[in-house]
Structure 1
Amino acid sequence: MLTAPVSAASVVATRDYLEEAKRVVEAATQPAAPWNGPRKGPHAQAGKYIAVVAEDLRNGGILGVVDGVLEAAKAIGWSVKIFDSGGTPNLRLKMLANGLASRPDGLIIVGGDARALLPGLQPFAERGIPIVGWHVAAQAGPVPGTPVAMNVSTDPLEVARVTALAAIAQSGGHAGAVVFTDTNFEVAQGKADAMAAVVRACGGCTLLEVRDVAISRNQELMPGTTRALLAHYGKRWTHALAINDIYFDYAAPVLTQAGISNAAMVMLSAGDGSESAFLRIRTGTFQIGTVAEPLNLHGWQLIDEMNRLLAREAVTGYVFPVHLVTADNIAADGGDRLIYDPANGYRDIYRRIWQRP
């Protein structure tokens, strides 16, 4: 069978795209830069109690942020109570109602989707209770159409772009990619769309499909999904991209059982930098990178944004730069503890802002 000749222009375009991918990845893997966030703000508002509603504490990203919230709350002198929705749709609004009944001074939502949670958030707004969240919308900052004053996050679309470009760079511009997402969440769908667009723009790459698998049902669904994809695509499937590391927790064992070599299947995640992801990267078990969120730092930022609202000041809108964790840089910035914890002194800076020891 005759094949169409590849034009010189196409070859140049592919080469340029690959070089751009390598430049972006190189920049994203640099050690954490000096702190470029806020340095001034209101002192600690005394004696506050904050309700924290978590989407699912089984998710390493959510758990890491909650740990940061607890650490920062202790530093600022506040009390906190955690309400866990367990990834169950019918528990989300119940946990918000329970949080409201506990009479908090503020509400932090960790995970979830602000617009989907709107019926449960409105009663807080009606009582003048400020709300901030983590990963509750497709973009960082205030969430339009909701009472969420600040969505703390890195830039989800840049996270997705770096993840997909890392796959292109690693493959030499020949990735056969499946993207895993959860369409129940706006931020997840935004990430998946961005990753898919980057793969499509790579002339030598193939986007095999975007697969919708609910995060809350990963343990149940991912083993069978992985086996089905292997059967369908065979060796054409070379790269797995996901909106969260948790997908790989349940895909990796299936790949091992199927006799797939670590070199034959490359995993990259657009968040969040879980302990299991760090372990896979360190041991070279399929996963070569995760665009890790500074989970603990984000917990501190949530408390700082809430403190500003309680002091009747504006939120900062601060967005932390994107960082890709790989085998080459995993030992830095908290990697020895299996987390991405930037060594930029953010704890001391926030304490100084709050005028706390």
Structure 2
Amino acid sequence: MKCTLLALACAGMPLVATAAGPPVSLAPGAEPVASNRLASGSLAEAQRVLDAAAKPAAAWNGPRTGPPAQPGKHIAVVGEDLRNGGILGVAQGVREAAKVIGWNVSVFDCGGTVSGRRKALADALAKSPDGLLLIGPDARAIRAGLLPYEGRGVPIVGWHVAPTAGPVAGTPVAMNVSTDPLEVARVTALAAIVQSKGRAGVVVFTDTSLELPKTKANAMADVVRACPGCTLLEIVDVPISKNPEMMPRTTRDLLARHGTRWTHALAINDIYFDYAAPVLTQAGLANDAISMLSAGDGSAAAFLRIKAGTFQSATVAEPLNLHGWQLVDEMNRLLARQPVTGFVFPVHLVTPANIDTDGGDRLMYDPANGYRDIYKRIWQRG
């Protein structure tokens, strides 16, 4: 299959980079070729995709009916790393919704480590919860730790725990709540291509220890590869949990290696830019010298950078608080012995032009579509 500019992914392009290693995945040719090789129609179509993604939140198209609240439940929440703004935002949404539905919630932090995941799952199980919500850990990687929950009949719902939304095959996770990660990746990469008029020099940051980040990074890289005038300079593997210690040096090394050829940074999470942006400032770069675009999650820090025009120009923000409410609703359905909805919320691109809408004034993407009242009516808790 031949890749085109708007392709989501092409086969046979695995991620094997390391942060300290040489360029891993280069587009053909050492330098970007003339931008006129990219058909104007392709750029126009890419712009239409971006315009659709940047629109204000549409009217609610999710569930409107379901079981009433199953009150008095104790729910364990296991977060991959609460230092991550996306994971913290979802956890806060869960707490908000749980208060409405009448549940007690205990939160356990994995700290982004293997040992931390084992401990968090064991500590949560010791509380004998009625349900388990996973926020961020890879469901297949922690499958052994989930089996005791399955053995006790404890329902499990996750957020960003697999590369696609829906049930996670081979695990007890009944529903993975997420936007479409391939669409998130496509919109992010297309935004860089349109910004550069088809001449972007791109570095992609990912975490190859987790399947979802690998999926998004591969998809972004393939869209860049399909742009004839763009150059995929490098795919860089920095574990999300090791951003504070690794990203400053990694950013300096990339500047030394690529210089002005590096025009756009794409990352699977805003947290990478928390530690890259200060290095770019220290290096004396103008705020628009390198444009940063994130394929998730829409952290408060990312909103501040976009508002200030400090390197970051866009984030494909997850509706973190809404997803917290959806997690609670999906769990409530399981506790009522009803099926999950499988609802997938549309992708949204946050830019300087729309950042003050749909919660942007509060430094978050919180769709103004009345989802809280709708869920309250479903649970009959309004």
Tell me by how many angstroms 1:260 deviates: 1.0
Q: Is the 8 A contact 1:14 1:202 kept in 2?
A: no
TM-score, normalisation: structure 1: 0.97
Equivalent-residue separation in structure 2 for 1:241 and 1:89 (angstroms): 26
Equivalent-residue separation in structure 2 for 1:301 and 1:82 (angstroms): 17
1:37 to 59, 62, 72: 62
Q: Is the 8 A contact 1:14 1:173 kept in 2?
A: no
Partner of 1:271: 296
SS in 2 for 1:180: strand
TM-score, normalisation: structure 2: 0.90
SS in 2 for 1:26: helix
2:143 to 118, 121, 125: 118
Equivalent-residue separation in structure 1 for 2:163 and 2:71 (angstroms): 33
Structure 2, unmatched stretches of 5+, are 1-32
CA-based RMSD of the aligned residues comes to: 1.2
| Match status 1:244 vs 2:269 | yes
Equivalent-residue separation in structure 1 for 2:109 and 2:84 (angstroms): 11
Partner of 1:329: 354
Equivalent-residue separation in structure 1 for 2:71 and 2:119 (angstroms): 29
Equivalent-residue separation in structure 2 for 1:14 and 1:237 (angstroms): 23
- Structure-to-structure mapping, 1:338-357, within 5 angstroms: 338-357=363-382
Equivalent-residue separation in structure 1 for 2:210 and 2:155 (angstroms): 22
Q: Percent identical across equivalent pairs?
A: 72
- Structure-to-structure mapping, 1:97-108, within 5 angstroms: 97-108=122-133
- Structure-to-structure mapping, 1:135-284, within 5 angstroms: 135-284=160-309
Equivalent-residue separation in structure 2 for 1:131 and 1:93 (angstroms): 16
Tell me by how many angstroms 1:19 deviates: 1.5
Equivalent-residue separation in structure 1 for 2:64 and 2:80 (angstroms): 30
Partner of 2:28: none
2:87 to 51, 55, 62: 62
Partner of 2:111: 86
Residues 275-321 of structure 1, C-alpha deviation per residue, up to 9 Å, x if partnerless? 00000000000000000000000000000000000000000000000
Tell me by how many angstroms 1:14 deviates: 3.0
Residue identity in the other structure for 1:134: W
- Structure-to-structure mapping, 1:287-298, within 5 angstroms: 287-298=312-323
Equivalent-residue separation in structure 1 for 2:318 and 2:302 (angstroms): 12
Partner of 1:53: 78
Equivalent-residue separation in structure 1 for 2:89 and 2:235 (angstroms): 27
Q: Is the 8 A contact 1:176 1:206 kept in 2?
A: yes
Residues 310-337 of structure 1, C-alpha deviation per residue, up to 9 Å, x if partnerless? 0000000000000000000000000000
Q: Is the 8 A contact 1:130 1:306 kept in 2?
A: yes
Equivalent-residue separation in structure 2 for 1:112 and 1:17 (angstroms): 37
SS in 1 for 2:368: coil
SS in 2 for 1:211: strand
Equivalent-residue separation in structure 2 for 1:124 and 1:187 (angstroms): 23
| Match status 1:306 vs 2:370 | no
Tell me by how many angstroms 1:11 deviates: 4.4
Q: Is the 8 A contact 2:157 2:327 kept in 1?
A: yes
Residues 219-240 of structure 1, C-alpha deviation per residue, up to 9 Å, x if partnerless? 0000000000000000000000
Tell me by how many angstroms 1:63 deviates: 0.3
1:72 to 76, 97, 101: 97
Partner of 1:3: none
Residue identity in the other structure for 1:17: S
Equivalent-residue separation in structure 1 for 2:192 and 2:45 (angstroms): 13
Count of residues paired in the alignment: 350
